[in-house]
Amino acid sequence: MPAKLTHLKKGKARMVDVSAKPDTARTAVAKGFVSMSREALAAIRSQATPKGDPLETARVAGILAAKRTPELIPLCHPLLLSHVDVDLKLKSKGIEITSRVTTTGPTGVEMEALTAASVAALTLYDMVKALDKSMVISGIRLMEKTGGKSGTYRRET
């Protein structure tokens, strides 16, 4: 049986009322990847990119984006986030992004984690596009979520 879409009522979009839901500790982890040329990766490694440090800029942008998620996604609840972490790892073909968001509240932080990973990826693209316009942002996905009535979810890969 398919899950009920709680954001629709009689075909109209609405914000779900979470006032009766208990506060629980909640965490979400999202990932993404920006593939790029060897030359662009070498410039990042040697800190020779034209706009400055793309990794630190993307990390901060991801954190800020998680905090601004309800301004970007219309039906998201504003949440008091306890912690946001954005980790960027240089790999052989690009940069792997992992965001982790935590809160204690009546609704989850999946959208905040996904937004953090997405904006970090977009920021990397912006910071490095002068060196490689063929970069590809891919694999934005929820890896894990804990807390709430639906419990724990973990993606295998």
pLDDT tens digits for range 49-62: 999 999 999 999 99
Residue-averaged pLDDT of the chain:
93
Query: Where do the domains of the chain lie, and which CATH numbers do they carry?
Result: 23-150 (3.30.70.640)
pTM of the complete model:
0.92
The answer, yes or no, to whether residue 8 has pLDDT greater than 70, is: no
Which residues partner with 34 through β-bridges? Answer: 95, 137
Residue among 23, 53, 126, 132 flagged as catalytic? 126
Note if 126 is an active site residue. Answer: yes
Rounded distance between C-alpha atoms, residue 119 and residue 98, angstroms: 12
What's the token pair of residue 4?
């009920």
The answer, yes or no, to whether residue 6 has pLDDT greater than 70, is: no
Q: Which strands, in side-by-side order, build the sheet including 94-105?
A: 81-90, 94-105, 24-35, 136-146, 153-154
Q: Are strands 12-13 and 153-154 parallel, antiparallel or unpaired?
A: unpaired
| Predicted pLDDT of residue 15 | 85
13-22 tens-digit pLDDT: 888 889 989 9
Confidence bin at 11 (pLDDT 50/70/90): confident
Distances, alpha carbon 123 to alpha carbons 2, 10, 128, in Å: 36, 38, 9
